[in-house]
Structure 1
Amino acid sequence: MTDIRTRIAEETKTAMKAGQKERVTTLRMIGAKIKDADIAARGQGKEALSDDDITSTLRSMVKSRQESVKMYLEGGREDLAEKEQHEIEVIREFLPPEMDEAALKAAVEAAIAEAGASTMKDMGKVMGALKAKFGASLDLGRANGLVKAALSA
């Protein structure tokens, strides 16, 4: 399987040849964000980002755009909300498929049992177990809410 960087570069070339200006702009923006994250990682003495790190970066890009869409819609700027929504769709092409709600709940319950967690103090253990087991295929934001709900009940 090709890595995310390669797929983004290939998709950018394809979009350029097809004359898809908006798509090219979004793909270049994704590439720039990944390069920025690489530079920041090198500043901390790390190598280039792994696919898991890139996936996390892409998830944060989606999240910030979702917040923008909400704000634009509240402000009556449907045109800008539509642009952000288009960017979200392009970014999601490079994300692994998300777990459905039932699978996520089952994974959280298994991680809680595995970690022997019973209180909110154990949340870090549970989240660590989930991240170790599922890596980038898990949306930690969604899992976080389920873990909190389960441990505070």
Structure 2
Amino acid sequence: MIRENIQKETIAAMKGGDKQRTAALRLISAKVKDRDIEQRTAKSTVDDDDLVTEVLQKMAKQRRESIQMYEDGGREELAAQERGELAVIEEFLPQVMDEGQMRVAIEEAKTTVGADSVKDMGKVMAELKARHGASLDMSKASAMVKESLG
């Protein structure tokens, strides 16, 4: 589903003459194809939308890190290019939970696994990933879980 949307948007961007958007969409497609090739030798198969979402999350994280480095280095033109790519990537990512929703999800996960100390953090994180996967910012969730268990 996500893969088809990316292909449709690529065609629309090419027809519309939007070169930056077309380049970003082609970059996404290339990364997804690279991941498809990796999956050929994998022992387990992954749902297509999960695979594409995983690729998009990784790309978004890379863009955010690059933006920070470019801004720190005074390279605003490169940071702007990365922001443009990030905006295109984020269009295809599922909506991320806000802080309130994350706190509720963390409490539910803690109750489910019976977590009561920081030692149980791995169990809580695994439960969160299984339940909410792509709609959860795992780095923020990790800090919030640690805080609530500590």
Q: Is TM > 0.5 for Structure 1 vs Structure 2? A: yes
Gaps (5+ residues) in structure 1?
Answer: none
Counting aligned pairs with the same residue, the percent is: 49
Per-residue CA deviations over 1:79-121 (Å, capped at 9, x if unaligned) read 0000000000000000111111111111111111211112222
Task: Work out the CA distance in 2 between the residues paired with 1:17 and 1:148.
Answer: 48
Change (3 A) 1:38 1:46: farther
Alignment length, in residue pairs? 150
Aligned pair partner of 1:85 in 83, 86, 103:
83
Tell me the SS of whatever aligns to 2:94: coil
Change (3 A) 1:98 1:89: same
Aligned pair partner of 1:62 in 41, 60, 63:
60
Please tell me the residue identity of whatever aligns with 1:115: V
Q: CA deviation at 1:141?
A: 2.1
Task: Work out the CA distance in 1 between the residues paired with 2:110 and 2:15.
Answer: 49
In structure 2, the partner of 1:115 is: 113
Aligned pair partner of 1:102 in 92, 100, 103:
100
RMSD between aligned residues: 1.4
TM-score norm. by structure 2 comes to: 0.93
Please tell me the residue identity of whatever aligns with 2:110: I
Per-residue CA deviations over 1:20-79 (Å, capped at 9, x if unaligned) read 001000000000111111111212234465212221221111111111111101111000
Aligned pair partner of 2:124 in 121, 126, 135:
126
Aligned pair partner of 2:41 in 21, 24, 43:
43
Task: Work out the CA distance in 2 between the residues paired with 1:34 and 1:48.
Answer: 13
In structure 2, the partner of 1:18 is: 16
Greater CA drift, 38-47 or 61-70:
38-47
Gaps (5+ residues) in structure 2?
Answer: none
TM-score norm. by structure 1 comes to: 0.91
Please tell me the residue identity of whatever aligns with 1:24: T
Tell me the SS of whatever aligns to 1:99: coil
In structure 2, the partner of 1:137 is: 135
